[in-house]
Amino acid sequence: MRLDVLEHGYAPGTKLLFAIIRLFSRHPVPDAARLVFYRPDFYGTRAKAFTHEAMRGPSDWSVGDRELMAAYVSKVNGSAFCVGAHTATAGRAYGDPQRVAAVLDDLETAPVAEPLRATLRMLGKLTREGKAGAEDMREVLAAGVSPQQVRDALAVCAAFSITDRLADAFGFELLSPEGFEAGAKYLLKRGYR
């Protein structure tokens, strides 16, 4: 059930911004954007900063890798909106949507390097079970992932574990494939600010 709060309560300047976005993009403003603008003092400003740092800050993981992590965590969480958004963004970042689809279909046979596969495996376990132990970390490190890459991947997982739950709690509406592609273009150009 969609929570009506995403339809009301915005300042006049925000309403104008939404109208301009819709006019130029020819797509409705995604609910993820509506949420961060609804209570920027309470959630939006902090969430945007944290997510932007996790997804676009300095990292040895590529933007495509981090977007794939977001899509994978979202798939494990069962968040259809976030799976759609980050599958489109990862596919566009890699220039290879089939690779992203292969990972989401079957991680073990997908055409990805072992460090990324091991990291996604660990993120999947953490997301499903709510914990990952020392042995899980040893496996990721043994696959060639650096300690900083583990921290960066955990930041992506944290950001999207929160976002996925909010997307489901607020009943984010799914976009059309064209809407997800427009969102992907925006995220790759502007990030999460």
Tell me the residue length of the chain. Answer: 193
Kindly list the distances between the CA atom of residue 164 and the CA atoms of 83, 125, 134, 170, in Å, as whole numbers in the listed order: 9, 16, 26, 10
Round to whole Å and give the CA distance between 174 and 91.
Answer: 18
The per-residue pLDDT for 15 is 87
The per-residue pLDDT for 75 is 98
User: In the structure encoding, which two tokens stand for residue 95, read together?
Assistant: 């220039």
The per-residue pLDDT for 100 is 98
**Residue pLDDT tens, the chain, 193 long:** 666 777 777 888 888 988 998 898 888 888 888 888 888 888 899 999 999 999 999 999 999 999 999 999 999 999 999 999 999 999 999 999 999 999 999 999 999 999 999 999 999 999 999 999 999 999 999 999 999 999 999 999 999 999 999 999 889 999 999 999 999 999 999 999 8
Round to whole Å and give the CA distance between 77 and 67.
Answer: 15
User: Which burial class, exposed, middle or buried, applies to 53 when counting CB atoms under 10 A from its CB (0-12, 13-18, 19+)?
Assistant: middle
Within 106-176, residue ranges assigned H as helices are 114-129, 134-142, 147-170
| pLDDT tens digits, one per residue of 130-154 | 999 999 999 999 999 999 999 999 9
The per-residue pLDDT for 71 is 98
First vs last C-alpha separation in the chain:
28
Round to whole Å and give the CA distance between 164 and 146.
Answer: 27
Round to whole Å and give the CA distance between 118 and 107.
Answer: 9
Q: Do 102 and 110 form a contact (C-beta atoms < 8 A)?
A: yes
